Amino acid sequence: MGPLSGYKIVEMGGIGPGPMCAMLLADLGADIVRIDRLSDPGLGSMPSSRNSLLMRSRRSVAVDTKSEAGREVVLKLIEQADGLIEGFRPGVMERMGLGPDEALKRNPKLVYGRMTGWGQDGPMAKAAGHDINYIALSGVLHAIGRKGEAPVPPLNLVGDFGGGALYLALGLVCGILEAQKSGKGQVVDTAMVDGAASLMTIFFGLMSAGNWKDERGVNMLDTGAHYYGVYETADGKYVSIGSIEKKFYKELLERTGLDKEDLPPQLDQKSWPILKARLTEVFKTKTRDEWDEIMLGTDVCYAPVLSIMEATQHPHNTHRKTFVEYEGIVQPAPAPRFSRTEGAIQSPPCLPGEHTVEAMRDWGIADDTIDELRNAGVIK
């Protein structure tokens, strides 16, 4: 039983960061009921399946939310909930009759979590967008990439999941904690552009101190520095180096044999291209496994660059059970970890409407009401 055991959350069916947030909270024990539409084929253009891992650990109720009876079902569930997750464009929930005013009227302690790309207000609020757009507007995308090359999208980790799902999860938990003291709920306006900008806080500080240039690929952490980057090995694979501190850099030179050469100082930025070229030559003299033998586990700050499937098999990850196999699918384990109330995958990914009767009954809706709704085609 995870630390959120006993808390109830309604998730309005959507894609991307909303489901990720729900998965995180459900893995930690929250009882989450996902509201899927009767006509919804699944996630975007892809049908829901047991491989839709963001849907794990919770139950799905299929409801005709366009009908008055369907809206009432959702509001009945909201009455029992501590929190709600919705990821539609601004105004959609209001038009459905399920906006914050209606929800908080039914449940004054509800924490109403809203997830959008641009936020609930502002000139861009109602425009369509995806992760790449939100991190572009927040300054993140500009900063990622090599000098003289185009920006590189970091998958959809920074906007959807880092700046979106995680901030919404934090907002919901904080709101629920506050509601326990005040007895009052509130709305959490989570915008991916805001979250992505928040993740950049350290770089704004570095720029203000004159230690970071608003230019791609010329700084310490953006592939500009030779001692923080990725190098190709003799077998066409890659290793990562993060030898920032002086003592770690000293060990890097020793283990590469470069300590015997007359090299420019580590922090001489004008010499970084020269030093990077020399390290490039050295790392290509051995395979990735050979460099593992020399550097893995040392204070060089080194790790091999593993593929997704290689990562699941690395001894450190297997020791910590960072990845688990659940019902035949290898996937990341719940995180973070707790010493007493350990989180766990509660169930395989839910399919739309798979648990309608079971979940509604557990959340206090009477059997005769459930039967009436099924006969009327309001639920599946």
The DSSP bridge partners found for residue 11 are 34, 85
Query: Per the residue annotation, which of 36, 160, 194, 222 is the catalytic one?
Result: 160
Cα 226 from Cα 241, distance rounded (Å): 9
Query: Per the residue annotation, which of 40, 130, 189, 299 is the catalytic one?
Result: 130
Q: At what angle do helices 192-199 and 166-182 cross, to 10 degrees?
A: 100
Q: Would you say 41 and 31 are in contact if contact means Cβ atoms under 8 Å apart?
A: no
> If we measure between CA atoms, which residue out of 364, 366, 356, 363 comes closest to residue 8?
363
Cα 307 from Cα 223, distance rounded (Å): 20
Q: Is 61 helix (H, G, I), strand (E, B) or coil?
A: strand
Q: Would you say 175 and 189 are in contact if contact means Cβ atoms under 8 Å apart?
A: no
The sign of the CA dihedral 321, 326, 331, 336 is negative
Cα 198 from Cα 302, distance rounded (Å): 28
Cα 185 from Cα 114, distance rounded (Å): 13
For the record, the structure tokens of 60 come out as 């799905």
Cα 156 from Cα 122, distance rounded (Å): 23
Q: Would you say 230 and 152 are in contact if contact means Cβ atoms under 8 Å apart?
A: no
The sign of the CA dihedral 360, 365, 371, 377 is negative
Q: Which residue has the tokens 């501590």?
A: 82
| Secondary structure E strands in 168-207 | 186-191
130 assigned to active site: yes
> If we measure between CA atoms, which residue out of 211, 232, 197 comes closest to residue 118?
197
Cα 141 from Cα 145, distance rounded (Å): 8
| Secondary structure E strands in 2-156 | 8-12, 31-37, 42-43, 46-47, 59-63, 83-86, 111-116
Report the DSSP pairing between strands 228-232 and 238-242. Answer: antiparallel
160 assigned to active site: yes
Name the residues annotated as catalytic. Answer: 130, 160
